Amino acid sequence: MALLQISEPGQSPEPHQRKYAVGIDLGTTNSLVATVRDGSAEAIAVEGDSVILSSAVHYGKDTVTVGAEARARAVQDPYNTILSIKRLMGRGVDDIRRFGDQLPYHFAGSDGGMPAIETAAGPVNPVQVSAEILKTLARRGREALCGGEGGGLDGAVITVPAYFDDAQRQATKDAAKLAGLKVLRLLNEPTAAAVAYGLDQGEEGVIAVYDLGGGTFDISILRLSRGVFEVLSTGGDTALGGDDFDRCIATWLAAQAGLGADLDAATQRRLLGCACHAKESLTSNEQVALRYGDWQGVLDQVTLAELLDPLIDKTLRACKRALRDANIGVDAVQEVVLVGGSTRTLRVRERVAQYFDRPPHAALDPDQVVAIGAALQADVLVGNKSSEALLLLDVIPLSLGIETMGGLTEKLITRNTTIPVSKAQEFTTFKDGQTAMAIHVVQGEREWVSHCRSLARFELRGIPPMVAGAAHIRVTFQVDADGLLSVTAVEKSSGVSADITVKPSYGLEDKVIARMLQESYTHAAEDIALRALREAQVEAERTLESLLAALRENGAQLLEERELNQLERAMEALRLAHNGADATEIRRRMETLNTLSEPFAARRMDASIKRAMQGHRLDEFDQ
């Protein structure tokens, strides 16, 4: 008899057939692809001997160019050369209108709400541009792994900033799909950096990932517990990076050379080039000789530290805020990882070591560390290693909830909750006989829906007509490992349901998230008071509406004129309180009205029972 074949755990059905997987760091300025070969992860050369691919795409009438050649055309052909497309991922047309004048492109709307950039090849959107970069990286990965035999990749792990919201993550997955890549998962960049240093194999504890690139700074606080990575908090500054270091040094050079403040663009570019050269030279030298025009001088490490310290202070303040968000002190941090080319600056390393009171991990190339971590994770997920080797958990950047009566936000999943996660809560109807419910999904920390971000709307129909508050509608929020949200609503007695996968056409960048969080802190006391007031107003509206309906039905039959007048006066008092701004007064008036209406409610109940019993004997109800 034939034997049933069972493959080795964690391996493909063909014994020890290795699968091909890559890790991709899809960056704003530069991108990389890495893989695991012979047990170790390494970046793959993409342009000549360089492992770095410029995240630039040039569109000609019949050609598309990616990389350094495309970037070189930015000055001569800015409208057809797309740079820093990552900043536009997950954005909508309305978002682009607010800052589009800062970009050298012609924008147009599209059917999906995604902005389109007019080029010589026709309109292209951010997903299509990112797909071109991913195609180039995937092709080099296939060539390096499959030897040009035409084989394909079995999967890729693509990294994203920890602050990327669901729209930006979905846009990244869409770009990968367009590029023909199978996404094993999206991985937060700081988590990938920690994996690259093998911290997942170390002792349990807290890890800080300090990521200082050319234009942005990010700080992430991770916790490793029982082999599980969890992102505790994130923070940073989107307007701070190595470019600011260059500008600071260039300003010093201009002053030393006696140049005025009003410099033309060509002079500014030359000064920035000289400043960048000086900064890079000082990563391995105590001082560097400089010359500009007739001026010549020396820039040393001490002077450089004086110039850069105010900027580095900003990054450390962001670190302090991130630790506060994580509810831990700096002494709880056991490991510090440096990411981003600007962390090569010696003064940065010194200040980071001083702040965290420990030397940071800096042995790996800071430009490659994220891609290497992604490659290690891809090797696990594709099946070349046991899937139990590493489990990574991330968090959502902002709370998720729905709109309730009165325009209030009810949070189902709070900010910094570990994903994947699924949470449910029961809601009910507001009016008698209500057969449908509009569900508005929002994101943010404020109590008012108008202060949060709208994600999606859908309707649950077919609810059996009942009195207000009798229906039980269970709303479930589920966020998967990639940070994508699905929402389901089910009416429990009938089983009718509706659901939606939240795939909005626009996203939030980290500075907007930071602003929303800051506003939630600033307005916390005000929001709590306003929520209490609005909840009292909604309850008063429901009380007045239900009592008015009852009075219309049989108030004249069941109440004396004196009782009816008392109720009407109490209702009017509640209406006046409802229009005020004192939640305590509203609730006091409601208690008074409820007390006065209790006899009326009892009589209505008795009358209802009598109607039900008419034509029946009492012993029929005992059977």
Residue 25 pLDDT exceeds 70: yes
> Is 173 an annotated catalytic residue?
no
Instruction: Determine which helix (DSSP H) or strand (DSSP E) holds 595, and give its type and residue range.
Output: helix 583-613
Q: Which of 95, 211, 246, 403 is catalytic?
A: 211
> Is 350 an annotated catalytic residue?
no
For residues 114-139, average pLDDT: 91
Which residue pairs from 605-612 have beta carbons closer than 8 angstroms and sit at least 24 positions apart in sequence?
607/554, 607/557, 607/558
Reference 459, options 481, 489, 427, 480; nearest CA is 489
Which of 27-36, 53-62, 305-314, 467-476 is the least confident region?
Answer: 467-476
| Torsion, Cα of 175, 181, 184, 186 (10° steps) | -20
pLDDT at residue 507, rounded to an integer: 46
Residues 92, 297: Cα–Cα separation, whole Å: 49
Residue 566 pLDDT exceeds 70: yes
Residue whose pair of structure tokens reads 């260059």 in the numeric block: 246
Reference 128, options 88, 75, 183; nearest CA is 88
513 pLDDT band (50/70/90 cuts)? low
In 3-state terms, what secondary structure has residue 144? helix
> Is 499 an annotated catalytic residue?
no
Q: Which two tokens stand for residue 275?
A: 């400043």
E strand spans, 213-308: 217-225, 228-237, 287-292, 295-300
pLDDT at residue 339, rounded to an integer: 93
Plot region of 126 (φ>0 → left; ψ -120 to 50 → alpha; else → beta)? alpha
How many H helices and E strands in the chain?
15, 27
- In three state form, how does the secondary structure of 336-397 look? EEEECHHHHCHHHHHHHHHHHCCCCECCCCCCCHHHHHHHHHHHHHCCCCCHHHCEEEEECC
CATH 2.60.34.10 fits 396-507, yes or no: yes
CATH 1.10.10.60 fits 17-154+166-185, yes or no: no
9 pLDDT band (50/70/90 cuts)? very low
Q: Tell me which fold the domain 525-613 belongs to.
A: Substrate Binding Domain Of Dnak; Chain:A; Domain 2 (1.20.1270)
Let me know if the fold of 396-507 is the same as that of 525-613. no
615 pLDDT band (50/70/90 cuts)? low
For residues 502-523, average pLDDT: 54
Residues 156, 128: Cα–Cα separation, whole Å: 18
- Contact (Cβ atoms closer than 8 angstroms) between residue 42 and residue 23: no
pLDDT at residue 474, rounded to an integer: 87
148's CB contacts (< 8 A; 6+ apart) are none
pLDDT at residue 331, rounded to an integer: 94
Residues 352, 196: Cα–Cα separation, whole Å: 20
Q: Which two tokens stand for residue 230?
A: 């969890």
Residue 93 pLDDT exceeds 80: no
150 pLDDT band (50/70/90 cuts)? very low
- Average pLDDT score, the chain: 81
For residues 526-544, average pLDDT: 75
Handedness of CA 274, 280, 285, 286 (dihedral sign): positive
Q: Which CATH superfamily is domain 242-307 in?
A: ATPase, substrate binding domain, subdomain 4 (3.90.640.10)
Reference 342, options 233, 226, 247, 443; nearest CA is 247
Which of 175-179, 205-209, 504-508 is the least confident region?
Answer: 504-508
167 pLDDT band (50/70/90 cuts)? confident
Residue 412 pLDDT exceeds 60: yes
Residue whose pair of structure tokens reads 């007031």 in the numeric block: 533
496 pLDDT band (50/70/90 cuts)? confident
In 3-state terms, what secondary structure has residue 491? strand
Residue that wins the pLDDT comparison between 558 and 65: 65
547 pLDDT band (50/70/90 cuts)? confident
**Greatest pairwise CA separation for the chain in angstroms:** 115
> Is 154 an annotated catalytic residue?
no
For residues 452-471, average pLDDT: 82
Instruction: Determine which helix (DSSP H) or strand (DSSP E) holds 318, and give its type and residue range.
Output: helix 301-325
1 pLDDT band (50/70/90 cuts)? very low
pLDDT at residue 515, rounded to an integer: 60
Q: What is the pLDDT of residues 298-331, one digit of tens each?
A: 999 999 999 999 999 999 999 999 999 989 999 9
345's CB contacts (< 8 A; 6+ apart) are 242, 245, 279, 282, 283, 308
Q: Which of 189, 379, 509, 535 is catalytic?
A: 189
Q: Which of 86, 135, 279, 411 is catalytic?
A: 86
159 pLDDT band (50/70/90 cuts)? very high
**Residue ranges per structural domain of the chain:** 17-154+166-185, 242-307, 396-507, 525-613
pLDDT at residue 228, rounded to an integer: 67
For residues 198-227, average pLDDT: 82
Residue 35 pLDDT exceeds 90: yes
447 pLDDT band (50/70/90 cuts)? confident
- Contact (Cβ atoms closer than 8 angstroms) between residue 245 and residue 272: no
Which of 57-66, 313-322, 385-394 is the least confident region?
Answer: 385-394
pLDDT at residue 506, rounded to an integer: 37
